[in-house]
Amino acid sequence: MNLAPKVGPLVAELLSGVSFLLIAYLAVHGVSFAGIDELSSGAIVVLVVLAWIIGTFFDLVRNLLEWVWDSPSFTEHPLNWRFFFSGKQSELENLEHYFWSFYILDADMAIAILLSVILSPFIAYAKGGKTPCYLWVIWLLLVGIACLFIIDARLLRTEIKGLVDAEPR
């Protein structure tokens, strides 16, 4: 049994965590990235670890949503999770390479963007002062992008389910 971490989920966790931190940074500093330029190497390492931890939280939220998406309200039958343990190695690798990694990335990014946009006005308010109009435009665009990630994640999950269900038992 290969217990080594897979690259796809690690990338999804890191990218979603970095996205969250970047959107939160915009709420505090606006579109000025001077603060990022001034970070020391040690601070960057800490931020990467923090991004990974936050991204792992978003992955946890996605895992909880799997239960909701497998409920009778959303689907006629749940995803056959058993396939991930009993499927042929080559089929599992193809599924992960072409679909599963992208599904995880899409879902984690949607969660990261939505949560950061929800929290950003509060972060900007806590910073003090009035929130510039352009931030509201950016946040609205980000919500649209999150919706596209959600649509793609649902479509990928549907394709994954079709592929897994088509496999002979």
Domain contains 2: no
Domain contains 93: yes
> What 3-state DSSP class applies to 83?
helix
Q: How many CB atoms lie within 10 A of CB 160?
A: 21
Domain contains 65: yes
Q: What letter does residue 97 receive in the DSSP assignment?
A: I
What residue ranges in 18-162 does DSSP mark as E strands?
none
Question: What digits encode the pLDDT tens for the residues 62-99?
Answer: 999 988 888 888 888 888 888 888 888 888 888 888 89
Domain contains 60: yes
Domain contains 1: no
> What 3-state DSSP class applies to 167?
coil
* Average pLDDT value for the chain: 88
- C-alpha 30: how far from chain center: 23
- Is 142's pLDDT higher than 80? yes
User: Is pTM beyond 0.75 here?
Assistant: yes
Domain contains 125: yes
Point out the least confidently predicted range of 38-47, 55-64, 101-110, 125-134: 125-134
Domain contains 137: yes
Give the structural domain span for 14.
Answer: 7-26+35-69+79-166
Domains contained in the chain, number: 1
Give residue 136's pLDDT band: very low, low, confident or very high (50, 70, 90).
very high
Domain contains 74: no
What is the CA angle 41-47-52, rounded to 5? 130
